[in-house]
Structure 1
């Protein structure tokens, strides 16, 4: 299966000289994707910092090609290079001296994600690309058409059910084994806690594990830091720091409430969702998290591709009127999304009210029990109930 990110990265190297930083959760397919980019842009060299022979080549620059006049550029894939303590200065010097001879693709997980939020000594030398688990569109679309949205395309019941049940991480999705899935999830949890210890110096891992379990059970709900602090028995600021660390390590992600031009809106409390929706037992929570993950993937893909500035929020007022999601385009409301297991609950009146208040072009109520319909959801400008299979196939 070719990921949508393949054409995005190949196009990057055809148009731009900057390094490409590919960050995302562990086991999401970064290394496989990097090697596919290398195959598309031959010749290429793959070096992994975790391999001692590769590490020696990295430190001695043994990968440099012979100085041949008119020689072609080589694609250099650097995997896990962020584990090298001086990786930023190393990449800066390497790029400045060798950019005429190489295309640089750097892959990593948490540390690349944390690094981009801090003071950036590599400013102007790279573009960031954020890779996500598999989605409906990637399962059904052979290639991604230019622009934001795809034409709707049907996904088989078995493929949709597998994605919903096993999650979008490639290996569990392909194997579809309950035994493997449980072992894989346990290993991922252990790796997350190990990275947390290594990157943040947090020592109270047992309490962080309790916090992670609490957040797991609150997926799709408002996060109250004070209540979490009481349950875990640490300070509120400690809880805030730990939740940020768990987010940077791709355990969960947080959405802020949209407050601009909305009276009586919430201003602080975020909502929490999980990167791996397959761990959620409650079907309603899993449906909402499934859509949240698809929307986050789409907004980050569109932004990283240079198509605009896309962000994901939720809508909620102090009198508890709520719509699950709002997607903005260049800081303006674009479309609203409410998620339901069944279309029989009827159209939420909040969709129309919020759409009028925000002047958003589209408002969708996504239902999981409706069959696929081969019609463009975004042709509708009034609130409308749409099948999850149709709507999600039009995203990324």
Structure 2
């Protein structure tokens, strides 16, 4: 029997339905666990229904209209518990927004609704949105070191550190955070899974849900980005390698971002004299595709920080964003997390704890007045101390710092 991992997003769904009528829109990468999490909602009610657009029988029910779906979910019957219905991949239906609007407006007092899907869901919720006010979006990420042990919700962003299982930390570094390869912990399975996932992403998702025809060149671009994770994005240089225009490269990278292949981190420019204000840095959602060890651990930290800022924002703690800092003198710090558009904490990632605190970390904390400045290292063992009690620049173990996030 295959191991099942509890997810913090299940707690999030339970808390949402306890306090809100709005639909849940759960988006995230292919195979990160969206469907699994939505199906876990059956733990909250005996009246759970699920419709997947890719299932032809389910599709027929949706196409027959709102009343057909209501009948399928038993909304015309008196029930002891409030029903929950999950719609999976519904964004593939051309009229999905009109359908959901009608269904929600008619039955919002009788049923809780979860909608899960890929980037299409995220893309089409923006601009001219007829569903405005009827849903709350949540962005699901792959597993992180904190989520492997702590899945209950707390009323604060930063939590007390805990000692994670050493094998969990090693498995995250080696297998990534996507649930299936993490659980199997098998190198041969991982290699096959990585290849198939990228083929499905480009040859199915991007082909079917975008107008891009040059899939071979998109694959070349994806390979280039693997080797440039954490570096400044030189669009013109990449364009020459792929043999397309710079504007095309910009558009294709945005497409890869919208399908959760990669994400960009923008430069912070406030209070930075001669700051670099143009090129972002690109990281991969799946850090195991980054070959060089130093770049891989930096990508792992980037992914953990992105998960945290998305989670904190989606839960209503405030507006959180992830940045990096670099000026024209080439002084740089890997990451800055902002809270309501103000600097909160800086993070510099190092493999080794040898040497002193980064001068750039000290320099930029002084410039932007960030409350904390961490040099996160991967060769130190866990220390049971709260990193966020320190306001001076400090070297901290990744195994402590990352457990305090989400």
- The TM tier, using the shorter chain, reads over 0.9
The question of 1:28 aligning with 2:38 is answered: no
Q: State the match for 1:146 in structure 2.
A: 155
Aligned to 1:299: 309
**Are the counterparts in 1 of residues 334 and 348 from structure 2 also a CA contact under 8 Å?**
yes
Q: Over the residues paired in the alignment, what is the CA RMSD in angstroms?
A: 1.3
- Candidates 375, 391, 394, aligned match of 1:365: 375
- SS in structure 2 opposite 1:136? coil
Which residue in 2 is equivalent to 1:122? 131
Identify which of 14, 18, 28 aligns with 2:18.
14
Instruction: Indicate yes or no: 2:93 matched with 1:87.
Output: no
Given that 1:351 and 1:383 are in contact with CA atoms closer than 8 Å, whether structure 2 keeps it comes out as yes
Aligned position for 1:105: 114
**Residue 43 of structure 1: which of 33, 40, 47 is its match?**
47
CA 1:70–1:189 in structure 2 vs 1: closer, same or farther (change >3 Å)?
closer
State the alpha-carbon separation in 1 of the partners of residues 125 and 369 from structure 2.
33
Counterparts of 1:119 and 1:231, CA distance in 2: 37
For 1:2, the equivalent position in structure 2 comes to: 6
Match of residue 202 from structure 1: 212
Aligned partners of 2:143 and 2:178 also within 8 Å: yes
| In 2: Cα distance, 1:54 partner to 1:137 partner | 36
For structure 1, which runs of at least 5 residues remain unmatched after alignment?
none
Distance 1:67 1:209 in 2: 49
* Contiguous gaps of at least 5 residues in structure 2: none
Ranges of 4+ aligned residues in structure 1 off by more than 6 Å: none
The offset of 1:260, in angstroms, is 1.0
Structure 1 residue 73: deviation in Å? 2.3
* 67 and 206 in structure 1: CA distance in 2 versus 1, 3 angstrom threshold: closer
The answer for the alignment partner of 2:271 in structure 1 is 261
Question: Which of 298, 316, 320 is equivalent to 2:326?
Answer: 316
Q: Tell me how far apart the structure 2 counterparts of residues 64 and 152 of structure 1 sit (CA, whole Å).
A: 43
Greater Cα offset, 141-150 or 354-363: 141-150
Deviation per CA, 1:235-260, whole angstroms, max 9, x where unpaired? 11111100000000111000100001
Residue of 182, 187, 203 corresponding to 1:178: 187
For residue 225 of structure 2, what is the aligned residue in structure 1?
215
Residues matched between the structures, number:
396
Quote the Cα distance in structure 2 between the aligned partners of 1:21 and 1:249: 16
Determine the C-alpha separation between the residues in 1 that align with 2:232 and 2:349. 16
Which whole-Å CA distance do the structure 2 matches of 1:303 and 1:280 have between them?
27
Do the aligned residues in 2 keep the contact of 1:148 with 1:307 (CA within 8 Å)? yes
> Take 1:246 and 1:149, find their aligned partners in 2: how far apart are those partners?
31
Deviation at residue 340 of structure 1 after TM alignment: 0.1
Aligned equivalents of 2:81 and 2:142: distance in 1?
A: 34
1:145 to partner: Cα distance:
2.8
TM-score (norm 2): 0.95
Q: Whole-Å Cα distance in 2 between the matches of residues 15 and 210 of structure 1?
A: 46
Closer, same or farther: CA 87–325 of 1 in aligned 2, 3 Å:
same
Cα distance in 2 for partners of 1:47, 1:78 equals: 5
Match of 1:75 among 77, 84, 87: 84
CA–CA separation in structure 1 for the residues paired with 2:224 and 2:184: 29
SS at match of 1:25: coil
Q: CA deviation at 1:147?
A: 1.2
Cα pair 1:141 1:153 within 8 Å, conserved: no
Return the alpha-carbon distance in structure 2 between the equivalents of residues 92 and 225 of structure 1.
40
